[in-house]
Amino acid sequence: MTLRNTVAAELRKLLALPSALIALALGALATLGLAAMSTRSMRSKLDLGDPTALAHTTTMEVGFNLIPAGAIGAIVLGVVAVSSEYTPNGKDVGGGRQILASLTCTPRRGLLLAAKTIVLVLVTAVFAAVTISATIALSQVLLGAHGHPPGEVVAALGPRAAGGVAYWVLIAVIAFAVTVMTRSGIVPLIVFIANTTLVSVTFLLTRLTPLANYLPDVAGAAMVGVFAPTEGMLAPLPGGLVMAAWAAGLLAVAARVFVRRDA
């Protein structure tokens, strides 16, 4: 099979996965829902003249500041794109694994992994662009009279929104690469989601050593710019390049493991 045909086949396969569709739906709804709650709370406080309304964010960034946490959908998508291949089928269909059928159709493992990566990047990029844009628009609409004109919002948040899309894509690729190496979605899901939603171990490490600023999620967060600057924190472009280097490096290791290891 050619790369084009393999990409088309993998795209159909990914979009037919219930777990992938659930990840996309929940990721979008969770991001929009949290943004709506945060924005409504701020609007109520602003209407009442509460001085604490702008204590932690601004009317421009409200909702948008939840973008890093919203990457959970991208993480789950990256994980299930691989873990679904190794999940045993039901006994009524033979109990085998999808990876055997995939390798039968595409014996060239490098081609198969490249196609999966391309599909993941494309789907995540579209998912991120739509969700982040909708989150920004919804937040400004819900602010009512406290909102900003569209042109002002685009000028202020446009580059950072693009950084958010890049962040989601790269974190999905990193989760994908780790899952290829582990051949299981359990460990990657636990580690990545816990680090994103509960206690960010990587951000805590920045208080111990400036080298932690070069960890992928910490470096990439600079592209979104919703965290308070810390000592040694990278600028958006260097941060994005560092995160991209992590993604490329982990993907290279995953490819070598995938090509050399038994299915």
* Span 12-66, pLDDT tens digits: 999 999 999 999 999 999 999 999 999 999 999 999 988 888 888 889 999 898 8
| Phi, psi dihedrals of residue 88, rounded to the nearest 5° | -60, 140
Q: Structurally, how many domains does the chain consist of?
A: 1
Q: Contact 16/98 with Cβ under 8 angstroms? A: no
Residue 57 counted as domain residue: yes
pTM higher than 0.85, yes or no?
Answer: yes
Residue 234 counted as domain residue: no
Closest listed residue to residue 180, CA positions, set 242, 117, 102, 240: 117
> Residue 89: its pLDDT value, please?
64
Q: Where are the alpha helices (DSSP H) in 145-199?
A: 150-182, 186-197
Q: Answer whether residue 5 shows pLDDT above 70.
A: yes
More confident residue, 229 or 246: 246
Residue 250 counted as domain residue: no
CA–CA separation, 60 vs 148, rounded Å?
7
> Residue 99: its pLDDT value, please?
83
Residue 239 counted as domain residue: no
Residue 226 counted as domain residue: no
Using one digit for the tens of pLDDT, what is the confidence trace for 108-132?
Answer: 899 999 999 999 999 999 999 999 9
Q: Answer whether residue 158 shows pLDDT above 90.
A: yes
CA–CA separation, 256 vs 88, rounded Å?
24
Residue 236 counted as domain residue: no
Domain span at residue 156 reads: 3-196
In this prediction, residues 181-209 reach a mean pLDDT of 83
Closest listed residue to residue 41, CA positions, set 27, 55, 29, 28: 55
Residue 224 counted as domain residue: no
Residue 240 counted as domain residue: no
